[in-house]
Structure 1
């Protein structure tokens, strides 16, 4: 099927739902560890509590990719039914997670939230490849990254913003502050609204041969055998990209799970108070706990706000790429490599950051994030079978979630422990991991993956 060249606003509309998805991910990534700490989790327990996120991605994304490849609805198309279902479930989970009365409830909500976000997210990646001519795919993924950057910055600043508007950061022992509850409620609303916008402003191409499509759906190939066959037949470029993804996502999972304890302790010098160190029946101890907890909650707001800068810089980076790739080709390989180097430097500089300079570390990290969300997918889309784009995008997610599972099961604690007991060592590990990911770009040699080659 010959695909027409789409205008900017058509690409914007089909990607706009990612604003809501990123609201969900930014609130989860910036504040879930804070919720865990508020409910009594120690910093060494936090990575394991986060294991829900990669495990659900490992299971959900290939399944949704497989199902959406084999779906066609006369009104909602192939990918949009999954956007809508995921948005409804994600919005419900986002609203209720800050009301968790116990640590195990919060961990359970994280399972539901991440599974629901993945139901929406995976088809968005496939939709870009479905709708855009190959010459526009880098452009399309970069527009998607621009929207993700906007969502990251705004959502990361929500608790700080609502706190400035007078909503309290103080709370009783084991209770999440109202500023976080309000921020998550806003995120739930934006998530649903932005997905609905894409669902009702975007159309999809039907299968080229509907009769053949229906026959293929009725074939008795099992999902598991299809997954195994496609994993075994992965293009070599996809495997090389997987190595890059491994180290990239190990680094970002480390940031999401441990940046709050590391930076509140090392940069702001206001670690989360440990309940066992206070006798709450003694008025002086209770007052000391309340002071320490309020200081921790306020510095957590500032850590979240600083983290939002990585969304802002990824947005600016994506905007530059949008302007450039709308007219010219780029070398995806070298853009990605140097972006990862800069992100690695951002993590390493955290060892020397002050509360005022922390945002510059996240500015560098945002350049890596902007590239991670666009360049690997653009390179992948040029090297796989278009008829199985959803399946391969889902399988590609394995290279994202496996490093996170390894990190959650003790990988972060083990590697950072080699450097010492300080929480900030986790950020050093993240920086070194991004540098390794950057060097792995030298493995990519496929010319069409590096830069789309016109057939003319």
Structure 2
């Protein structure tokens, strides 16, 4: 397969192509901070939070690699290769965000989460491949760290809106069981608008690179297949890609197993933690959780691009491993701080870690996978994210209840240990083409 020579892009061209990530990550920020409090408002017991969040892992496991494989075999002179998929995903996500705060009962909210995750996963994976498609190797680090910046910005806006509306409109003295407070509605409405608007910005501002003659012939061959074979082709391509996957990606999978298991614990149990350590109501704890996310995403925005020269100088694996250690130390500290302001300090380390997690692995993987199969391999990389999340949703409820004594403090410390293990495994990430 011939390799196209890609032009070097300007800073603002790379900026524009990543703007759509702002809307995707705003939605993700609401999932991190607002969804579990909504489940609690609607009567979910704490030990059920992991299993109620299984939508993310399952839809990610199914949707992302299939959409990745399909986008590899897609080309439209008008719409491009990746853009049709993340545009449709953004529309689905937007509709769900408008509907979510009106959920009348728990099962309705859980069902909406499933649909929302389908939309977000449909948008996320082609976007990762889109950046790799456009940039020459020397700019991959800047491209993916720019995505990391927008990850921070999107989640920052989501959590900032939660804190703002809770401050302006919330009444902590009134918390009605079975009802979602009205101050939470507005953050979801903003997300519904951003989901579409930011994706459209990137779609309209950034043309895709046409496929090479060899790639186009492969795409046309795929279109000529019978319907049954076309439906089966993405699954065949995923299986083939996993069989031929570079050994480097298996090592990334080992890191991700512990890293994402730990992150899912943090997002699920940070609100229950503050109810325990600070005696907060659900509303107050949700607001404090949003402030934590607000803080670490500010740090992520500040340090995301600064990591580019550091990774070039010291190597991606060292910066990545060090950032994971810092995230683990942050989680060891949080349960023992009972001051609402001092507890924000560990989020500096968490934010540095989050910036590294959202950029460095994608840069490293982009360098070792075939250009014409980047979509399917980015989907497989995201499978390595959702599989640990799925394992967590199925296993951590019993661990929390029976092994950790139903204590959110122990849950956060458990997550800290997993981050340290992931840091040790990250030191094995030596880039190889095999």
Out of 145-154 and 37-46, give the one that drifted further: 145-154
Q: Deviations over 1:293-326 (max 9, x none)?
A: xx4313321221222212111111203125667x
Which residues in structure 2 correspond to 1:400-411 (within 5 Å)? Answer: 400-411=385-396
Which residue of structure 2 aligns with residue 353 of structure 1?
337
Matched, 1:90 2:97: no
Helix, strand or coil for the counterpart of 1:424? helix
> Is the alpha carbon distance of 1:90 and 1:333 closer, same or farther for their aligned partners in structure 2, counting shifts above 3 Å?
same
- 8 Å contact from structure 1 (residues 415, 429) kept in 2: no
Q: 1:244 aligns with which of 234, 255, 280?
A: 255
Q: 2:352 aligns with which of 361, 367, 373?
A: 367
Which residue of structure 2 aligns with residue 309 of structure 1?
295
Out of 415-424 and 138-147, give the one that drifted further: 415-424
CA distance in 2, matches of 1:296, 1:226: 46
Matched, 1:158 2:161: yes
> Is the alpha carbon distance of 1:228 and 1:448 closer, same or farther for their aligned partners in structure 2, counting shifts above 3 Å?
closer
CA distance in 1, matches of 2:87, 2:151: 18
Measure how far apart 1:420 and its partner are: 3.3
> Is the alpha carbon distance of 1:429 and 1:93 closer, same or farther for their aligned partners in structure 2, counting shifts above 3 Å?
same
CA distance in 2, matches of 1:27, 1:116: 14
Measure how far apart 1:173 and its partner are: 2.5
Q: Deviations over 1:129-149 (max 9, x none)?
A: 100001111111001101111
Q: 1:230 aligns with which of 205, 228, 241?
A: 241
Q: 1:187 aligns with which of 180, 191, 199?
A: 191
Measure how far apart 1:172 and its partner are: 3.1
Which residue of structure 2 aligns with residue 11 of structure 1?
14
CA distance in 2, matches of 1:253, 1:163: 24
CA distance in 2, matches of 1:69, 1:407: 31
- 8 Å contact from structure 1 (residues 139, 321) kept in 2: no
Helix, strand or coil for the counterpart of 1:234? coil
Which residue of structure 2 aligns with residue 437 of structure 1?
422
Helix, strand or coil for the counterpart of 1:335? helix
- 8 Å contact from structure 1 (residues 254, 412) kept in 2: no
Helix, strand or coil for the counterpart of 2:77? coil
Which residue of structure 2 aligns with residue 393 of structure 1?
378
- Gapped regions of structure 2 (runs ≥ 5): none
Which residue of structure 2 aligns with residue 274 of structure 1?
none
CA distance in 1, matches of 2:314, 2:369: 20
CA distance in 2, matches of 1:193, 1:401: 27
- 8 Å contact from structure 1 (residues 254, 427) kept in 2: yes
Q: 2:133 aligns with which of 130, 133, 150?
A: 130
CA distance in 2, matches of 1:299, 1:241: 34
Which residue of structure 2 aligns with residue 340 of structure 1?
324
Which residues in structure 2 correspond to 1:260-271 (within 5 Å)? Answer: 260-266=271-277, 268-270=278-280
- 8 Å contact from structure 2 (residues 51, 397) kept in 1: no
> Is the alpha carbon distance of 1:412 and 1:366 closer, same or farther for their aligned partners in structure 2, counting shifts above 3 Å?
farther
Which residues in structure 2 correspond to 1:60-75 (within 5 Å)? Answer: 60-75=63-78
Measure how far apart 1:231 and its partner are: 1.1
Q: 1:80 aligns with which of 67, 73, 83?
A: 83
Q: 1:196 aligns with which of 196, 200, 213?
A: 200
Which residues in structure 2 correspond to 1:2-41 (within 5 Å)? Answer: 2-41=5-44
> Is the alpha carbon distance of 1:97 and 1:29 closer, same or farther for their aligned partners in structure 2, counting shifts above 3 Å?
same
CA distance in 1, matches of 2:393, 2:310: 38
- 8 Å contact from structure 1 (residues 264, 303) kept in 2: no
CA distance in 1, matches of 2:432, 2:177: 57
Which residue of structure 1 aligns with residue 217 of structure 2?
211
Measure how far apart 1:3 and its partner are: 0.4
Q: Deviations over 1:196-251 (max 9, x none)?
A: 11111001011111334312443546322221111111110010011111111111
Give TM-score scaled by structure 1 length.
0.89
Q: 1:103 aligns with which of 103, 106, 124?
A: 106
Helix, strand or coil for the counterpart of 2:268? helix
CA distance in 1, matches of 2:271, 2:170: 21
CA distance in 2, matches of 1:389, 1:442: 24
Q: Deviations over 1:128-175 (max 9, x none)?
A: 110000111111100110111111112112122023333556453311
> Is the alpha carbon distance of 1:330 and 1:130 closer, same or farther for their aligned partners in structure 2, counting shifts above 3 Å?
farther
> Is the alpha carbon distance of 1:412 and 1:442 closer, same or farther for their aligned partners in structure 2, counting shifts above 3 Å?
farther
Give TM-score scaled by structure 2 length.
0.93
CA distance in 2, matches of 1:407, 1:441: 20
Measure how far apart 1:448 and its partner are: 7.4
Helix, strand or coil for the counterpart of 1:373? helix
- 8 Å contact from structure 2 (residues 39, 109) kept in 1: yes
Aligned CA RMSD, in angstroms, stands at 1.8
Q: Runs of 4 or more off by more than 6 Å in structure 1?
A: none
CA distance in 2, matches of 1:222, 1:77: 20
